């Protein structure tokens, strides 16, 4: 009996020693991983625009600061930038009255709204997307100091807050496109409520609401190819399939009725562990480009101006908000997808540096091409809008 107790004690001691060495090993692995992440020698504590790396000839500065939760942006023909937020419940108007490429004034147009992420402008009216409805502020630029009460355009959207915030934009067909995200990480709503996991569209007055694309987990950014007028959109991949899967997606929807695979298939060729047995990946439209895993690709735009060099024109810029549960963070940047003959051929960082080591001081959300050709980037963590210019 005494011998048995001695053996038990030795075994416990051995386990403690092995556990100690295991902890030390994990520390060294984490340290090695951290050392592989480049740190810029910039700013105070690695924070500031000096940290942002851009291709030669490009520069970045603040267009506007102190815009709490700045997310989606829309531009009026008069130069007013409207900015939605998600967590603050506010909508802003950003004004450059001196025409010096920097905002002079930021006005709060509305507050107390339900996650008013998306904004769009058409014929003098500002459209704002809340979780379950789209509202409209008429003749808004004449009443920036005293905004009118909003008109409800359409309130027939689900009220789920999970992936309930929306990006909206008018297409070349004059219709307003409104995505409806899945109210979950991964679930199957087909046959229950066909609105989930779609991009919908409707007339400016809210009529003729219809589904344009299906199998879309959560799109928070889209634009139309200026040459073909085809819709391209980003889509956030599901979580908890590991750090490196699935990829976020850049998709193309030239016609109504296409299905992009969710929840059955991810990234075009990864069957879902639960729902993949119900459908085959070959049944769906694969992404045009697989983006980084969990980069949280949000706003995107085709660059349509001439300030940037020729090789950037009609190419796609994507704001990557950054991963939230990946062991080694990824994203927190603006990426560039290059096209040849209308097909993506490369995917690369364009503006990088909001992520320093394992910590991020900024999170890009949306991108907007200005009339002078500069590219604006909103940031809901640093509460700012940046201006990227060339030359």
Domain ranges of the chain: 56-390
Q: What is the pLDDT of residues 57-85, one digit of tens each?
A: 999 999 999 999 999 999 999 999 999 99
Q: How far apart are CA 62 and CA 281, in angstroms?
A: 44
Q: How far apart are CA 120 and CA 122, in angstroms?
A: 7
CB-neighbour burial class of residue 71 (10 A; exposed 0-12, middle 13-18, buried 19+)? buried
Residues contacting residue 164 through CB under 8 Å, at least 6 positions apart: 115, 131, 132, 158, 181, 183
Q: How far apart are CA 96 and CA 81, in angstroms?
A: 9
CATH, domain 56-390, list 3.40.640.10, 3.40.190.10, 2.40.50.140, 2.120.10.30: 2.120.10.30
Q: How far apart are CA 44 and CA 50, in angstroms?
A: 10
CB 376 within 8 A of CB 81: yes
What is the predicted pLDDT for the residue at 10? Answer: 47
If we measure between CA atoms, which residue out of 383, 374, 252 comes closest to residue 303?
374
In degrees, to the nearest 5, what angle opens at C-alpha 125 toward C-alphas 219 and 78?
Answer: 100
Tell the residue number behind the tokens 């509460």, with chain if given: 383
SS3 200: strand
CB 152 within 8 A of CB 114: no
In degrees, to the nearest 5, what angle opens at C-alpha 194 toward C-alphas 188 and 196?
Answer: 65
Alpha helices in the chain (DSSP H): 2-35
**Residues of the chain below pLDDT 70:** 1-40
What is the predicted pLDDT for the residue at 39? Answer: 60
CB-neighbour burial class of residue 21 (10 A; exposed 0-12, middle 13-18, buried 19+)? exposed
Q: What is the pLDDT of residues 168-217, one digit of tens each?
A: 999 999 999 999 999 999 999 999 999 999 999 999 999 999 999 999 99
What is the predicted pLDDT for the residue at 14? Answer: 43
Phi, psi of 281, deg, nearest 5: -60, -30
If we measure between CA atoms, which residue out of 254, 255, 226, 222 comes closest to residue 236?
222
SS3 185: coil
What is the predicted pLDDT for the residue at 46? Answer: 85
């Amino acid at each position: 009996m005494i011998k048995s107790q001695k053996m038990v004690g030795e075994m416990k001691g051995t386990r403690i020693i092995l556990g100690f060495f295991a902890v030390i090993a994990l520390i060294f692995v984490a340290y090695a991983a951290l050392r592989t992440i480049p740190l810029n020698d910039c700013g105070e504590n690695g924070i500031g625009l000096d940290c942002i790396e851009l291709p030669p000839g490009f520069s970045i500065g603040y267009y506007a600061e102190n815009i709490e939760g700045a997310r989606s942006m829309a531009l009026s023909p008069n130069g007013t930038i409207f900015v939605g937020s998600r967590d603050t419940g506010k909508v802003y108007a950003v004004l450059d009255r001196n025409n010096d490429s920097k905002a002079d004034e930021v006005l709060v147009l509305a507050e107390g709204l339900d996650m008013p992420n998306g904004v769009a402008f058409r014929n003098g009216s500002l459209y704002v997307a809340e979780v379950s409805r789209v509202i409209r502020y008429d003749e808004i630029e004449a009443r920036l100091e005293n905004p009118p009460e909003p008109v409800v355009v359409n309130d027939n959207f689900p009220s789920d807050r999970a992936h309930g915030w929306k990006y909206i934009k008018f297409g070349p067909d004059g219709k307003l496109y409104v995505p409806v995200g899945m109210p979950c990480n991964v679930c199957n709503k087909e046959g229950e409520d066909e609105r989930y996991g779609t991009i919908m569209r409707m007339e400016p007055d809210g009529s003729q609401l219809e589904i344009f694309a299906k199998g879309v987990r959560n799109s928070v950014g889209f634009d139309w190819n200026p040459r073909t007028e085809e819709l391209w959109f980003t889509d956030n991949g599901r979580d908890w399939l590991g750090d490196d899967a699935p990829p976020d997606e850049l998709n193309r929807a030239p016609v109504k009725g296409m299905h992009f695979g969710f929840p059955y298939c991810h990234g075009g060729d990864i069957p879902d562990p639960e729902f993949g047995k119900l459908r085959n990946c070959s049944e769906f439209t694969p992404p045009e480009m697989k983006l980084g895993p969990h980069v949280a690709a949000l706003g995107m735009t085709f660059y349509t101006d001439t300030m940037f060099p020729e090789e950037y024109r009609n190419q796609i810029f994507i704001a990557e908000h950054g991963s939230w549960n990946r062991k080694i963070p990824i994203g927190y940047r603006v990426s560039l997808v290059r096209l040849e003959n209308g097909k993506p051929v490369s995917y690369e960082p364009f503006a990088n540096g909001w992520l320093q080591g394992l910590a991020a001081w900024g999170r890009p959300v949306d991108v907007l091409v200005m009339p002078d050709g500069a590219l604006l980037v909103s940031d809901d963590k640093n509460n700012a809008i940046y201006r990227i210019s060339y030359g």
